[in-house]
Structure 1
Amino acid sequence: HYDVVIVGGGGHGLATAYYLARKHGVQRVAVLEKGYLGGGNTGRNTQVSRSNYFYPESGAFYEHSLQLFEGLADDLNFNVMLSQRGILSICHSPHEMELHRRWANAIRMNGIDSRILSRGDLEKRVPQLRLDGRYPVHGGFIQERGGTTRHDAVAWAYARRASALGVDLVQQCEVRGMQTTDNRVMAVETTRGVITADRFALCVAGHSSQLAAMAGLRLPVTSIPLQAFVTEPVRPVFDTVMMSAKVHVYVAQSDRGEIVVGAGADLYPSFAQRGSLDIHRDAFSALLELLPMFGRLRLMRHWAGICDMAYDVSPIVGPTPVENLYVSTGWGTGGYKAIPAGGDTLAWTIVNGRPHDLLRPFQLDRFRSGRLVDEGAASGVAH
């Protein structure tokens, strides 16, 4: 029997377990993972960390997460390889440039760093960028503090520290059912037996709707693949993270030298964790239009993560109508960058029995009241 059982051994589940043990002194915590730690969406993303969101509610949450990322290596005593190389968003028309100005100003009003860049600024910052191709570049804006971390390092850092604090990390343990009584979850039925607890939390990304259904809960979440690719490694040639919402591509260079490319989300619901040729074609045609020098590189790997997409493209984190069941879902394309803050605030919510202040806008009841937080544009890719 445990005080808290967390289903899902990815970044959010491990971070929640760590903060429960370290900040709140919860002694009996278990993380149940059907595969291996960090093997889901945590290991299937492009490793971006940023807080340049439009709405104050989103900006405050993701800024808290970015600040935690900035101190994570010291907190966990593990090098997560934070590289604050800047997050650069480019635009391709005067109309889009005006929208970027409003976006950048809104970000600054939220107290978060953001700076408009002209064509001349972009030419100096990214000399490889084709400014006058099929999609002419008119300018953009940048968050200098944004950047990347190593996803495997983040997962293992949280797992290592949580384990040292007494958290039980149980791998190869799939949850196949839940025992409920009087609107409470009493136990989970797993491939390793029945496990009881006082409180349960679901941190299972694209499988949230399936797990919640075991407790009789229906979530406003759709599971959609989001694909990414890497090329063969080369010497350092690209020192920022650049994205274009117009042509649905974003690109960075990893610490191993690979060019990491992300694309728009697929157009159909699926639980597949693999790529598809049409997305490959569209993403690489956009990439080569903007950065033609990468046309000589060979594609090495491609994959997909399963995005848990809420209807307003904002997360759902906190208590549910099931009395002792909590969820962390609806992250869409922003789950990785939210790992530290997601774990920190969910742990606080579980211990205190009410939503953390940063989570109040992201409760499940907003879909009943219509008080949505539509961050589709700030997600950086098409949905």
Structure 2
Amino acid sequence: MPFGLLKYGLSKDYPFEKDADLPAPTALKRRYDVVIIGGGGHGVATAYYLAKYHGITDVAVLEKGYLGGGNTARNTAVIRSNYLTPEGVKFYSASVKLYEALSNEFDFNIMYSQRGQLTLAHTDATVRAFRQRAEVNKHFGGQTELIDPADIAKLVPTLNLNPANLPVLAGLWHKDGATARHDAVAWGYAKGATQRGAELHQLTEVTGVHVKSGRVTGVDTNRGPIEAGVVIQAVAGHSAPMARKAGFELPLVAYPLQAMVTLPVKPFLTPLVSSSALHCYVQQTSRGEIVIGGGSDPYPLYNSRASLPLKESLLSSAVEMFPFLSEMRLLRQWAGITDMTTDYSPIMGLSPVENYYIDAGWGTWGFKATPICGKTMAELVASGGKVPELIKPFELSRFDRFKQVNEMGATAASH
């Protein structure tokens, strides 16, 4: 088998997909049926599902930077569904199922790797909360259970079970937890959408939104105005300012979120491990790098800069969990902008402006929700504004109806 692969790799005759690249840039048309603001994972996924499953191809995805260059490129690529509420678990479980088949659907390897997520409990109260989460997850089809320290030691032999004098009492083991290559996900969706007729326009910034008689009619861009029948906003951390351009407010506050990665070492860690008390998580990539992340910065800011205080805090917590990491060399550090709601759940669906739809409020990244967001937002457009049942709990109107979907504390970080 290895010799066969080597022969295949060195052969000049093996099948090569000539249209593997995205189409060359084109001129903007003056009108589209659908304009999607934001060329990250959610934006191109929506365009893909519109084109493939609903036959809607007169679509323009407008990205002020480059494909997947915002929060899609600034996350730690975690995929999971171990949330607190039935609404959250059902939604994210549907996304996990889509992720599992995504490489086959694209005929493009997104490097999906189901490795599990382990969240550590250090207090009796956390153990009780984890037991409830495990039952909610199992009820809606997830693979989540509470395990004891002995099982944790077998699962992660290198873990310090008494970090910062906070003994590990139990762990929430989420077998469905996975990772995927974030840029591959964005490129797979973009490639599938553009091959079916949708257009991706990079370096195209939306500077204004046209609203007439309560209905969206188009957008202004740095390349000129565009008329549109439907506009979808999927701009992550910049959701609140973009909504203001359309004339309404979103209950969002933006915070920087930082992470970092070390130089690669020999594999020693399969699952993602996080601590509910230290607010830190650690995972090892397929290349051997150690990814370290945690909660958002404690103050609002529209800036994707990294800072020394957060670095020191995260690294000290990571070393408490895995003491030998103190000898590791840091390779790079990055940050993105998170858009947080008061109930730590997203805002999806209708807005106060007719035919202007929202995909926002993803907090510490919506990467894990990329497939299901694209699928449900496409269904929303194709149905003429009928909100899919799966995302009804996340409507903007829930804040007026006091029907929040409280996911605060759904992981060891902020979201």
| TM bracket (short chain) | over 0.9
- Residues 1-383 of structure 1: matches in 2 within 5 Å? 1-133=31-163, 134-352=165-383, 353-382=385-414
After TM superposition, the score normalised by the length of structure 1 is: 0.98
- Aligned to 1:225, the other structure's residue is in SS state strand
Match of 2:24 in 1: none
Number of positions where the alignment pairs a residue of Structure 1 with one of Structure 2 = 383
- Aligned to 2:173, the other structure's residue is in SS state strand
* Superposition deviation, residue 180 in structure 1: 1.8
* Superposition deviation, residue 274 in structure 1: 1.6
Distance in 2, Cα, partners of 1:230 & 1:295: 13
After TM superposition, the score normalised by the length of structure 2 is: 0.90
Distance in 2, Cα, partners of 1:357 & 1:382: 26
* Superposition deviation, residue 323 in structure 1: 0.5
Larger Rg: 2
Distance in 2, Cα, partners of 1:364 & 1:97: 33
* Superposition deviation, residue 17 in structure 1: 0.5
CA offsets 1:344-373 (integer angstroms, 9 cap, x no match): 001101111111110110001000010000
Distance in 2, Cα, partners of 1:306 & 1:259: 22
- Aligned to 2:370, the other structure's residue is in SS state helix
Match of 2:9 in 1: none
One-letter amino acid matched to 1:126? V
Contact 1:245 1:382 in 2 (8 A): no
Distance in 2, Cα, partners of 1:288 & 1:70: 32
Contact 1:40 1:305 in 2 (8 A): yes
> 294-303 or 3-12, which moves further after superposition?
294-303
Q: Which runs of 5+ in 2 are unaligned?
A: 1-30
- Aligned to 2:231, the other structure's residue is in SS state strand
Match of 2:27 in 1: none
- Aligned to 1:358, the other structure's residue is in SS state helix
- Aligned to 1:377, the other structure's residue is in SS state coil
- What is the aligned-residue identity percentage? 46
Contact 1:274 1:302 in 2 (8 A): no
* Superposition deviation, residue 334 in structure 1: 4.3
Contact 2:116 2:271 in 1 (8 A): yes
- Aligned to 2:410, the other structure's residue is in SS state helix
Distance in 1, Cα, partners of 2:107 & 2:89: 27
One-letter amino acid matched to 1:89? T
